[in-house]
Amino acid sequence: MKKHSKFYLYMVECSDGTYYTGYTNDIGKRLERHNRGLASRYTRSRLPVKLVWKKQAENKSYAMKIERKIKNLKRKDKIKLISGSRLDNILGDMRCKIEKKKARHMSHVRSAGGHR
C-alpha cells in the first residue's frame, strides 16, 4: 500500500447548495468516492458534488484539527474561504468572535454575582 505524506483539506459543494468539508491524502480518489456515494452519508443524498476549495495541510493531525474548525464556520465564512480569503484570517475572525462572546458572558456572570 502506497503511503501518502501529503494531506489536503477540501470543501465540496453539494447539489443542494450546501458545503461538506473533509480531509484526505488523495483528492481525486476522494471526489470520485463522494460522487459514487461511498465517501460520506451527508453527501450520498446530495449528489453530485463538486470541489470548490482545497488547501494542502502540514500533516494529518493538522488537517483533522482544521477540518473541525472549518465545519464549525458559518456559511458566510465558508463562502469567504471559497472566494479566496485566507484560512488564517477566517479562523482568526472566528477566534475573536468566540473570545468576545466569552467576555460578554463572563461580564454578565460577574454582574449577576455568579462566582462560585
CATH number for the domain spanning 32: value is 3.40.1440
Residue 38 lies in a domain: yes
Q: Each residue of 52-83: pLDDT tens digit?
A: 999 999 899 999 999 999 999 999 999 999 99
Q: Each residue of 33-42: pLDDT tens digit?
A: 999 999 999 9
- Residue appearing with cell numbers 480531509: 23
Residue-number span of the structural domain to which 74 is assigned: 7-111
Residue 77 lies in a domain: yes
Residue 75's identity, in one-letter code, is: R
103 pLDDT more than 70: no
Q: Cell triple for residue 29? A: 480518489
Q: How far apart are CA 46 and CA 19, in angstroms?
A: 10
Q: How many structural domains is the chain composed of? A: 1
Q: C-alpha angle with apex 33: 28 to 35, nearest 5 degrees?
A: 95
Q: Each residue of 8-17: pLDDT tens digit?
A: 999 999 999 9
Q: Cell triple for residue 58? A: 502540514
Residue 1 lies in a domain: no
Residue 116 lies in a domain: no
Residue 2 lies in a domain: no
Residue 54 lies in a domain: yes
